[in-house]
Structure 1
């Protein structure tokens, strides 16, 4: 049986991160997806084309996705033949995250509706089009999924993650002291152990 693992990085990440996962899936080919999309509607065009081009000829496809890469994947690949998914710090409620960012930036919804885009002092540009899109296109994800979450995640609360995990029937593993970005030696060791245990 030919198996493929597609790795989808988070914001600021890159496809080279996929190399880390080769040892964790020794019986599969592992590819990193170097996507260009910065919005869910662009991802909806780009992701399925990539998936179809690399998945042809494989009997089984597993998705490993990080942060906004997981959100884009859920938005764009919901009807693709993905056998299972491993999500690391996924963005699971983008509407809530955008609204939280509006609160952090002191930008009321009326202002964003009028101005269309508002830059913030923490590096993100708020977008009325983005907020409307995520409200009008709720996530429908039925792929068997396992979720890894850090208790110190600054983008998604534990309650939000638990609600989502319950909704899609996904087992949720919480690393005490883990961050949104799993990158320290301790965090990566925890991640590796989690994948190996879940893959059994």
Structure 2
């Protein structure tokens, strides 16, 4: 598979696959990087598409950055990335996982996306932060006073982030969207996924015994099969349809 390392106004990126007018933008979640798009690209690029994956702030080649993995830094970057994509491809689709899906929805809701695939997406950031505050036994008043609180499970609670989530709920998402969700996801409540799917007419697939992070051989097999079913191509082999 052809693979090119490029830079989009300073954002490290990889372009996967042979030249095509159809593109998937790949947005990873927390702890990910642009290289993790390899498995997805192996499937998609056989179907006459290309994939463009990037490193979000504080990830991949950008690990040295600090205090930038937040929507007020990431949304402008993603808007820049899709502007670049629109200059070079005729049809653009989106694959995003976990918090990457939330960043993408904040950034792309007015863009001409053809299709979207979401893996374990964060669809209600307010609910997620509330859950983490409960885990850490932190009240809203305490968070407002201290501004940032490092939890014993490795996440930092931020008053600015909390305020942003209240001010920026996802209220518009008009694209054909497929969601893959693990039955045992401990971060994203099933009711939030089902409410989002109902509201925006998404097709929801729930993997029995699946988790938030799809990483076991069985989970990865389910993920690959889901991608194959939902990425259309006239050139797809019959046994992959």
2:171 is equivalent to residue 171 of structure 1: no
SS state at 1:110 partner: helix
Once residues 231 and 53 of structure 2 are traced to their aligned partners in structure 1, the CA distance between those partners, rounded to angstroms, is: 19
TM-score (ref. length: structure 1)? 0.96
Show the counterpart of 1:7.
26
Q: Which stretch of the first structure deviates more once superposed, 165-174 or 41-50?
A: 41-50
Show the counterpart of 1:82.
113
Show the counterpart of 2:74.
43
Once residues 155 and 100 of structure 2 are traced to their aligned partners in structure 1, the CA distance between those partners, rounded to angstroms, is: 17
TM-score (ref. length: structure 2)? 0.80
Once residues 163 and 78 of structure 1 are traced to their aligned partners in structure 2, the CA distance between those partners, rounded to angstroms, is: 18
Q: Which has the larger radius of gyration?
A: 2
Show the counterpart of 2:152.
121
SS state at 1:83 partner: strand
Once residues 22 and 73 of structure 2 are traced to their aligned partners in structure 1, the CA distance between those partners, rounded to angstroms, is: 27
Once residues 230 and 77 of structure 2 are traced to their aligned partners in structure 1, the CA distance between those partners, rounded to angstroms, is: 29
8 Å CA contact retained: 1:70, 1:91: yes
Show the counterpart of 1:21.
40
Q: Deviations over 1:20-74 (max 9, x none)?
A: 1123212101121212151112122111111112332211111100100001000
8 Å CA contact retained: 1:155, 1:180: yes
8 Å CA contact retained: 1:141, 1:168: yes
Show the counterpart of 1:105.
136
Once residues 32 and 124 of structure 1 are traced to their aligned partners in structure 2, the CA distance between those partners, rounded to angstroms, is: 25
8 Å CA contact retained: 2:85, 2:92: no
- Counting matched residue pairs gives 200
Q: Which stretch of the first structure deviates more once superposed, 122-131 or 45-54?
A: 45-54
SS state at 1:22 partner: helix
2:127 is equivalent to residue 96 of structure 1: yes
8 Å CA contact retained: 1:4, 1:55: no
SS state at 1:113 partner: helix
2:166 is equivalent to residue 143 of structure 1: no
Once residues 150 and 55 of structure 2 are traced to their aligned partners in structure 1, the CA distance between those partners, rounded to angstroms, is: 26
Q: Which stretch of the first structure deviates more once superposed, 127-136 or 31-40?
A: 31-40
Once residues 176 and 28 of structure 1 are traced to their aligned partners in structure 2, the CA distance between those partners, rounded to angstroms, is: 30
8 Å CA contact retained: 1:19, 1:30: no
Q: 1:79 deviation in Å?
A: 1.3
Q: 1:182 deviation in Å?
A: 0.8
Q: 1:115 deviation in Å?
A: 1.1
SS state at 1:164 partner: helix
Q: Deviations over 1:96-127 (max 9, x none)?
A: 11011111000011111111111110111111
